[in-house]
Each structure stands twice: as structure tokens, then as C-alpha cells.
Chain A
Amino acid sequence: MTVTQPAPALPSPELAEPRRLLRRPTSPRGAWAWMTSIDHKKIGILYGVTSFVFFLLGGLEALALRVQLGTPDNTFLSPEAYNQMFTMHGTTMVFMVIMPLSAAFVNYLLPLMIGARDVAFPRLNAFSYWVFLFGGLFTYSSFFLGGAPNGGWFGYQPLGRNMSGHNIDYWVFGLQILGIASLTGAINLIVTIINLRAPGMSLMRMPIFVWMSLVVQFLLLFALPIITVALFLLMFDRLFATNFFNINAGADPLLWQHLFWLFGHPEVYILILPAMGIVSEILPVFSRKPLFGYRVMVFSGIAIGFMGWGVWAHHMFATGIGPVALSAFAASTMFIAVPTGVKIFNWISTLWKGKIRITVPLLFAVGFVAMFTIGGLSGVTHAVVPSDTQQTDTYYIVAHFHYVLFGGSMFGLFGGAYYWWPKVRGHLLNERVGKLHFWLMFLGFNMTFAPFHLLGLQGMPRRVYTYPTGQGWDFWNFVASIGSFVIAASVLVFMYNVWASRKNPKAGPDPWDARTLEWSAASPPAEYNFAEIPVVTSLDDVWHRKYTEDERGRPVLRERRTDAEAHEVASADEPEERPDIHMPSPSYWPIFTALGLPIISYGMIYKSWIPAALGGIWTLAGIYAWALEPQTAPGGHGHDDHGEGHGAAGGPEGHAGSGSGDGDATPGDPEPEPVPAGDPA
């Protein structure tokens, strides 16, 4: 079903042009286009590529750890180097890989899935990405500036407070910068979901991935301030000799643990829920059945989001918090398994009685269900507090959370990459190579992490750089180390697949015969996503445009081409330029403003107050220029477009003036020429 045609363009009122600090960026392609782009799709691609690079770095760190632990009494890494490696491996994979990789999917897909033209605040979106990139680079620069953080990703106090060198400072500032990226992103995406849905897309018609993303953004919104507080206290201890974690001045080290895990446990759901959403999109498409129990899936996701706030002390079962607290957190930890279990059974029911096409996305999604189940079950065994006192801080825990975060999140994200690749790049990835990738990764993953269960039960602690022979740990450590190289090989296969598939034929807008709105846009979508904002009449709207059901409830292809299908075909041939659709213009200010944050941080770490102040001025200048920058590039076409007839749901341009001074939500102009999305320079 289509919507009313856009009204003829009207000239927009002349904007008073403020003094210009820089000319508005206009390059349609090349590096400048990427650096100034505020197109959610380009930013999504930037997020994806950047976090994949960090994934490779974190993976190399993991390989170094596994080489060191492959044999007893090994000397491949010094203890100091090992401690830096495991700290950076954890920090990287959590904050620079799974979170931003999820952000890549959300950024790219969310506006498409809800029928919007961009996110609510496109410049803020660009700002989030650049802050993430600079935060990651800043943290990694520590390797060249005296050594990487070495206090563990969990940064327990007073160990971190008392460590010499600047290693921990890089961690403290790096995480604060990365937190800004996630926090601004969370606000942006919440506003987008709440305000920019296409007409007819009620909350209970939103794709499940959008729902899970919404839950995650709220978790981020409330969890990040907590770790920021903790990091802020630690920063003051380290820079200005305050006593928040000074034991000799009466500090209680459990303060840090409560703050960290009150952030850290919702963080686990921040890492897993997007992947759950992806899997919930993939399984129905390849089973050719709707998601089993959509409403229950939505509510269980929300339930996980809420309950996730009440389980943090299960990270602290050995700290001596007393039997009442132990019992309460044991119970809450057990019962968070209920909504999780519901999801698993609903996924299996989605497959059940389907017509399952065993493609690479499906394999990864099924792999997710299988591996995540293992992580969930070992999670329940941790909830049995007395038994957890034997397991905590052993490799059993390491096994558990790798089953959740790698077998879970990463499998889901890889599945999503295969599934949406044709949407982003216009062509499919090679299925045969993809299957090799999946099976190698599945094998390597289990070879690496299944033995960790045994090592943990046999008493091998975490975070040890070496172990003596004669503990019975040699064999499984060796197997795990081999497995880690199998995983590395599978990642190379994936990279080969990306390269080898680059000239695959065009896949068209809907190669999988899928269900959700993004498949009605061109592949890759035009800069404005939808020439006409779709009107949504049901859950899985695109599917219902294509199929009706016979009397036995089986899908039957609609015979007559409906308007919707005609629209689909049209989408594929959408012209790149639609002067009547105006998008916000590119801007230098997001990247400029973001660059100030690492400058402030370097200055603070080395107590060089002048550079720190200059960084602050830099950021303030950026914010000021940003605020003064007109949303519409002067001299552009200056169209306005109030003819869509469905008000606030029409995309960013439908929100003129609602940006409370941010200005991002107001119309821009199609200058420079729209660039084909999904074309990384």
C-alpha cells in the first residue's frame, strides 16, 4: 500500500545565514564524505567496519593469551604483558566490539525497519560514532605510551587505584569516552523509535529487533551513568588523591563492585539482546513462519531488561555479603532464566513445522540458540551460590560467558551480517564459503570453550598468566589453544568471503523473501530510504503484502500485483536523486566536537592542564558551531515537504523544529547529491 504522493516542492523560507566558520562539506564520496556524513546507513557501516577491526585486535589478544596458556610454565608473554592482554581483550570485546557492532546493526536497520528516513538526530548519531572511534583509538594508544591497562576489564579496587603508571588511567578515560558514545546513541535511538515510526506502525507491529533495540537503549541510558560514577570516583582518586577507594582512609572496596556490577549485569543484556533480536528476525524468514509468540517474545525481552537490574550481586557471591543477600540474588538470578527459557522454546517453536531453508544466516541463528542454551544452563549453576563459591573466578565462568557472548552474541551478529549483507551491499555473500565459515567457527568455538568448563571444575583460576604442570590442566589447555586458532581461521574465511563476494550479482531488494520493512527498500537503499513513507497495516507488513493465507492458514502468493508490490519493484529502481526529498546536510561538527574528548583526556592523564583546557575549548567550540550551523545548507534547493499528509511519522523531515535546538531533527537539503549508501570508500 502506498501513501499519497509528495506534494510539489515549495521553496523554503530563507534562513538567516550565520557567520560561517567552515564551508559546509559537499564531497559526495571519498574520505570527506564519510567523515562528514550524517546518513544513518553510512554511520552504520562505519560502526560495523570499525568494530570489526577492533574484533580482529581483540582476537589477536585472545590468540596471544591462548598461546601463552597452551602449555604449562610458558614464557611467550611476560606476566605484565599477559595482564595487559587479558584486560584489553575483555575491554575491547565488550566496549569496542559487541556494543558497537550491535550499534552498527541498530543504526543501519532501525530507521529502515520502522519506515523512517534517518534517526531523530542525525548529527548526534555521527557524533556517537566518532566518539566511539576516538575512544577506542585513545584506549589503544596506551600500548605505545607506556603500556595498556592491566587491571582487568572489571577494574577492581583498590588494585587499580594503587597501580603505578598510566595504564589504568587510559582505561578510566577510555571507558568514559566510550560511554558518551553509547549514551548519546541511546537517547537518539529511543527518540527515533518513539517518534519516527511510519504511520500504522504501532508498538506491537514493530519488528522484534526494534523492540530488543529499544530495551537495550533504555538499559544503556540507565546503566552507563552508574559506571560513569564509578569511573569518575576512580579518576579523582588517581588524579587528585581523593580517598573514595583508599582503604587506609576507610574506603570499602565493595563500593566499586556494587557500582561496577550494577552497570555490569545490565551490560550483559545490552550485549545479548540485540543478537536475540537478530535471531528472532532470521528464524521466521528461513522457516517461512511468523515468529512464534511475538508478544511473549516482546514481553520476555522487556522482562529480561527489568530483571537484569536485580541480579548484579551474583558477581559477588564470594565477597561475604551475608546469607540474606546471597539468597535474594540467588533467587533473582535463577528466575531471570525463565524469560530467557521462554525465548529459547519460542525460537524452537518458530522452526517447528516450518519449511526451513538451511542458509548461513539460519545456521548462525540456530547455532546461537544451541550455544546460548549452554551458557544459560551454566548460568543457572552459578545461581546455586554454594556451588558458585567453587566455580567463581575459575575457567568455568570464562566458559559460561563465552558461551553467552561468543556462542550467543557473536553468532547472532555474524548471522545478522550474512542476513542483511545484501541489503547493505546489494549482493549476497557466498553461501558455500559462509557455511565453511560457520562450521569452522562452530567447531573452533566449542573446541576452545567447552574445555574451559572442565578446566574450571578442575580448579584452574581465571586471569593467571601461567600454571604449573601436574595440575591436570595441560591437555585441555592445549586443546583450547588449538581451538582458538580454528576460530581465527574461520574469521579469515569470513574476510575472504567478503572479498570474494564483492562482485556477486545484484541480489535485488528482497533476496530472502523476508518479512520486514527494510526489504521493501532498494538494496542498498537510497539515501532517503523510502521514496514514499510506507503505511503499515500489520506486523511483518512486507510479508503480508506478498502473501495471503488460504483456509488452512498456509501462505499463498497474492496473484495480482498489489500496490505494495508495485512499490517494491519501484524501490529497486529508485533514482538516486530525489530533489523533492530533502535530507539533513553533512556536517564537520560531529567529528570536530568528538575529537576534543581524547585531547581533554590526554591532558588530564598527564596532568597537563593547558592541553586539557584546550581540548575542552575545542569541544565547546565544536558544540557552539554545531548549534549555530543551519540545518539546511544555504544555497541548496530549500524544498519543504509538508505534503506527505501523515505528519510526525514521516522521517526526520517530518520533525521540523522538534529538535529542541539540536537542529538535527529538522529538514536538511539534498545537497550534496545523495551518495549511494553502502559504498565504503
Chain B
Amino acid sequence: MRRIGWRAQGGRAALVSLAAVVLAGCAKVAPQTTLEPKGPIARQIDNLIDPVFIVAGVVFVLVQALVVIAVLKFRDRGQEEPEQIHGNTALEIGWTLVPAVILLLIAVPTIKTIFDLSRPAEASDTLEVTVTGHQFWWEYLYEDSGVLSANELVIPTGRPVELTLKSVDVIHSYWIPALAGKTDVIPGRVNRMTVVADEPGEYPGQCTEYCGASHANMRNVARALDAADFEEWLAAQQRGPATPAEGSAAAEGLEVYGNRGCAGCHTITGVSEGKVGPNLTHFADRGTFAGSIFENNGENLTRWLTDPQAAKPGNQMVIPGVPLTPEEIEQLIAYLETLK
């Protein structure tokens, strides 16, 4: 009786595990999922892995079934002593060769895809962007236009975007799962990757190489625009920053920006040339800031400017001297919001 009780408990455990796997199928909204490609490169990867998952699934079921059947079917029920089988050469050769053949069948398309993906895009309208990893944010330089932006990679749909990956400090890894697999961003080396988006939309990503205290807070977004919108965006980015009206809060904010040290680290075209932090010339155009962890709004900016270390531990933004006063913060935000 007792034995059966324990076995039943084992059965329950197996059932719970099974239920867990089944429930897994019903994935909820997961914007960063790797399973819903939104561009040809990610789709190529997905097309490769789907059959592999199926093969792995079949082997999984087969092996687990054999294990469970063996233990249940041949458990000690007082049967006579088993025949002392020491092995079976034919069988053992068989289960050496069969997995080897299966793996060979997986290896061929794998290697083909590796070489396909390693070739740079051949399209004539490739967009070249240099991506630079910083602790803990991404910087984008659009090579043809010289536009310098941060955190949000704005790209045109349907065009291959060639990313040249560099780092100024430690190893990061650039990843937008809906568009492509990740590529490490290694200081002292230059890596390349291609992303293509089919449809306009926002595709989140995240740094995936442990890069220090705020590794978790190093996010990014790819914002895909259709061709016309992209050209418009690019043109807007090439214009200089807005100049605040005389006597407005924003004008006071510009003063604060100059007096309180912001200018030492940030660039605003024609205003300051700091190189440590993100370029803020078109800050208000971005939907997010601080490594894309905050939505770009007044409330978050207040929190950020009040104590950037509390908002994002370990990041490199320091406010020299005494903290900003609430009034200064209000004025700075007013200014930043004009930088469309």
C-alpha cells in the first residue's frame, strides 16, 4: 500500500510537470520573444530551429517513455532473476550511428545558415550604422548622414541595416530578438551584424553580456519606420537643436544645462560638446531614455535628474556638486522637452 502511495505521488509530480509544459504553450504577450521573427534574418534562424526542436522533442518523448516504461514494466514484482545480458554489439552500433546520422542531418542546414548569415547584405540601399556600447547605453552613428543618437535604433522597413559594433569599455552584446540573433560588442574588436524589419513598429532588445552593475538596465529599442517617415526623421535629426524663447522656463533650463555640469558630458549641437553621455540634440524625439529603461516623460525625468544613481545604479551620470534643486530640474526638463 505504502509503495503504491509513493508511486501515486510520483505520478502526481509527473502530471504537474506535464501541465507546466502544456501551459507553456500558451505564451502570453512577450515583446522580447525569440519565437516571433519580424524580419527575414530572424525568420531564417527561426526556420532552422523549428525542425530541430521537433527532432529534439521526438527524442525527448522516446527516451523519457523508455525510461518510465523500463522502470514500471521491469520493477521487482517477485519475478525470477533476470538474464545477465552484458551488451549487444549490434544494438550499440545502432544507437551510435542513428544519432550520428540525425546530427549530420541537423549539421548540414546549420552550417549552410551560418555561411548565409555571415555574408553582408548585398542590397544597394543598405543603411550603415555604427553601434557603440557604453556602460550602460547604446550610441548610434548613422554613417552617411552623421546623425548621432542613443538607445533607440531608428531604421527604415525593408532595407538591410548593417550594424558595425564597437565598445568603449567592456564587452556588451547587441540583440533585437525579433530582427536578428545577438552579436557581442567587444572593445578592441569590430563586429558586424545585419538587421531587417518587415513592418513598422517597435522591437525591444537588451544587452546580453554581463557588463557591470546596471547590466539589467541596458536596454534598447529598434523603431522601424516606413521609408518616407524614416527620411523625414533623418532630415529632422540633421537640423540643429531648438532654441528656447527668451525668458521661458526652457531658456532657464538651458542656463542650468550650462552651469550645472551637464554640458561637460553631453553634446547638444552648437551648445556643448561633451562626449561621455548620450547626444541630447534631439532628446525629446526619443520615446525612452537612460538605456531605454524609462519612458521619456516629466515624471521619470524628475526622478532621474534628482538622483541618477538611485534610478539606475552604477551608471556614469553624476551631477557635480550639490544635487539639482526641484526648480532647476523643472527648468531642465522644460528645456529638454523642446529638443524635438
Residue A553 at the chain B interface, CB threshold 8 Å: yes
Contacting pair A389 B209 (CB below 8 A): no
Residue B210 at the chain A interface, CB threshold 8 Å: yes
Residues of chain A within 8 A (CB-CB) of B59 are 373, 377
Q: For chain B residues 193-240, which have a beta carbon within 8 Å of chain A? A: 206-217
Given contacts A320-B184, A377-B56, A387-B49, contact A459 B20 (CB under 8 A): no
Residue A611 at the chain B interface, CB threshold 8 Å: no
Interchain CA distance A390-B314 in the complex, whole Å = 27
Given contacts A159-B210, A254-B186, A352-B74, contact A288 B81 (CB under 8 A): yes
Across the A-B interface, give the 3 residue pairs with the lowest CB-CB distance, nearest first.
Answer: A389-B181, A459-B32, A472-B30
Chain A 455-466 interface mask (CB, 8 Å, partner B; 1/0): 011111111111
Residue A555 at the chain B interface, CB threshold 8 Å: yes
Residues of chain B within 8 A (CB-CB) of A348 are 63, 66-67, 70
Q: Tell me how far the C-beta of B138 lies from the nearest C-beta in chain A, rounded to whole angstroms.
A: 15
Residues of chain B within 8 A (CB-CB) of A287 are 74, 82
Residues of chain A within 8 A (CB-CB) of B113 are 385-386
Interface residues of A (CB under 8 A from B): 78-80, 83, 152, 156, 158-159, 162-163, 247, 250-254, 287-290, 292-296, 318-320, 322-323, 326-327, 330-331, 334-335, 337-338, 341-342, 344-346, 348-349, 351-358, 362, 366, 369-370, 373-374, 377-378, 380-381, 383-394, 432, 435, 439, 442-443, 446-447, 450-451, 453-454, 456-468, 470-473, 475-476, 479, 549, 552-556
Contacting pair B33 A472 (CB below 8 A): yes
Residues of chain A within 8 A (CB-CB) of B56 are 377-378, 380-381
Q: Tell me how far the C-beta of B51 lies from the nearest C-beta in chain A, rounded to whole angstroms.
A: 10
Given contacts A335-B100, A348-B66, contact A458 B171 (CB under 8 A): no
Residue B85 at the chain A interface, CB threshold 8 Å: yes
Q: Tell me how far the C-beta of B340 lies from the nearest C-beta in chain A, rounded to whole angstroms.
A: 26
Given contacts A335-B103, A381-B52, A454-B24, 12 further A-B contacts (CB under 8 A): A159-B170, A250-B188, A327-B114, A341-B95, A356-B70, A366-B67, A373-B64, A385-B113, A386-B117, A453-B24, A458-B35, A464-B216
Q: Tell me how far the C-beta of B165 lies from the nearest C-beta in chain A, rounded to whole angstroms.
A: 8
Residue B156 at the chain A interface, CB threshold 8 Å: no
Binding site secondary structure of chain A? helix
The contact sample of 16 A-B pairs, CB cut-off 8 A, is A253-B186, A320-B191, A327-B110, A334-B107, A337-B103, A354-B70, A356-B70, A356-B75, A373-B63, A389-B182, A392-B208, A393-B173, A450-B20, A451-B20, A453-B24, A458-B34
Contacting pair B20 A446 (CB below 8 A): yes
Chain B 147-191 interface mask (CB, 8 Å, partner A; 1/0): 000000000000000000000011101010100111110111101
Q: Tell me how far the C-beta of B204 lies from the nearest C-beta in chain A, rounded to whole angstroms.
A: 8
B16, B52, B79, B114 interface centre (most CB from chain A within 10 Å): B114
Interchain CA distance A156-B84 in the complex, whole Å = 51
Residues of chain A within 8 A (CB-CB) of B20 are 446-447, 450-451, 479
Contacting pair B182 A458 (CB below 8 A): no
Contacting pair B6 A439 (CB below 8 A): yes
Interchain CA distance A394-B76 in the complex, whole Å = 43
Q: Which of A289, A351, A373, A386 contacts B84 (CB 8 A)?
A: A289
Contacting pair B13 A442 (CB below 8 A): yes
Q: Which residue of chain B lies nearest to A454 when distances are taken between CB atoms in the complex?
A: B24
Residues of chain B within 8 A (CB-CB) of A554 are 80-84
Q: For chain B residues 11-52, which have a beta carbon within 8 Å of chain A? A: 13, 16-17, 20-21, 24, 27-35, 42, 44-45, 48-49, 52
Residues of chain B within 8 A (CB-CB) of A442 are 10, 13
Contacting pair B118 A432 (CB below 8 A): no
Contacting pair A351 B71 (CB below 8 A): yes
